[in-house]
Structure 1
């Protein structure tokens, strides 16, 4: 190749590179967002989900997309996180959908409902059965979409100052519990109380409340409930698998490059798997320590579970009669739950039941 041709070729390549660079830069812009969480930093499982998520986004974009997480109260109170996304105060939040049942009971269906789905069923319903699409159709009027970003697994039934031997023992019980579960228990004579996490222990200690539910052994251990309410009941039938979501302002989402949208989905998936794994890893040791410290494990009596199940179905019928959005999503969940348990009783439940019995013989 002649020298003049060689120089011309280099010039053409350099010009092409100069044209290409802005296109690449444009597809991977530098973006800074803020995330407000509904959870305090002391809950390293729940708050840890936000940390896992933002770290995954930063690493996947070579730090071009940075999301700064803020704990509950640092920007807005924990229960105002979703509102902050709707009004554009922040681009996104990490929260539990059922915190907002006061706006519409349909919000509960995105997180957990009494006698609903367990953790694996929640994931299957959302990812493979159109659950996320149904929820996003509802969330659209609040200007956000929701990406599953964690799950607490089945929660405990809470801490009680006295034993619950039958349905009659629920009459007049002042119980820290919120959302649809509180509405269900009202039918059985319970007086629901709404208290922030930091207020539960002193209320139990003083007898202002008779019982309280929180999450499960690992998180409950931090609050020392066994010192003032020794009876620890299970299961938390109102939260068989509680989904934590990333709510993202829909306008901010639509403005993102498609690649960044996919990264947000993938990072949320990472947080979802990581949170469930952490609870499964940490709860066994925590429940042992709680029992050693005086907690008395008790299953809810069958009569209590049956009464709560009946009351739950009454609540769902009442809401469905006046709320078509709730009915549409709830009916979809119920049909899916029925099919899932048809399968679980064949293999999953049979295997787990046998292994639970056999574990002491291995």
Structure 2
């Protein structure tokens, strides 16, 4: 279904997007290491949030999935396959596979819990003894990107479910004593406009990164963005062809970084300094430490290096900590000046 959608509706090339470096970096790092925990993108209306998120999904290499499996199961990674596929492997059955585009799933604002998690046909289960599961959006998003526009307007209960699945990598549906679970590992991307309200700090803390987007002020840059968009709208295929080489180059860099990530080393002294920064900023819990370590490693892999440097940490730490400094729900999110000052004191 996703393949058909992507071939019939051209997607704006990621490498054609002008500016918004913070948002683009956060998305790329989450794609390299989905365990960073997703990204919350807050900014003004009309700043290209949705366009950029759809563009990164279209850029990614195809993934190999098990044929006739409703959960996009991986054919060899146990963490990414459903219980049914595991059972088939244990029974020595041959597992046929095929390639699909990385799933890009939108969560509409009016969604119900059943639409998100999936439903079990209780009547069929009781009468025929068959567990019939109708997969929800969490199943379809497995190994892909789940995008929630206006996440700050989404019901807190659904946000809780989303974040629980994103952190555990599993979705469990229980109805009338019947339980079904399936893998649900995805990059969670939320976007919103701060004028329409913020997420509760407890929920905000669960997002790995927080990117702030501002309307471009530079007139020449604004003209460049408008012209680029007009060119795409006039002839999407010509625009896609123009950026094909840069798209392929970035795609190869991401694949290389994904493969290189497990071997990236971060010096013990740098880990201590990251934790010292988090402690000085009074960041609650250890999520800030963990995410900053992961993001710094992903950046080193992205730049094809074996070791994390101080520069890597400085590049990612504001993205990782900015949304974790709030104490009062009425406070605004620190723009990064406080973090920058303490980072410079400790890392210099």
TM-score range, shorter chain: under 0.3
Q: What is the TM-score with the length of structure 2 in the denominator?
A: 0.25
Bigger radius of gyration, 1 or 2? Answer: 1
* Higher percent of residues as helix: 1
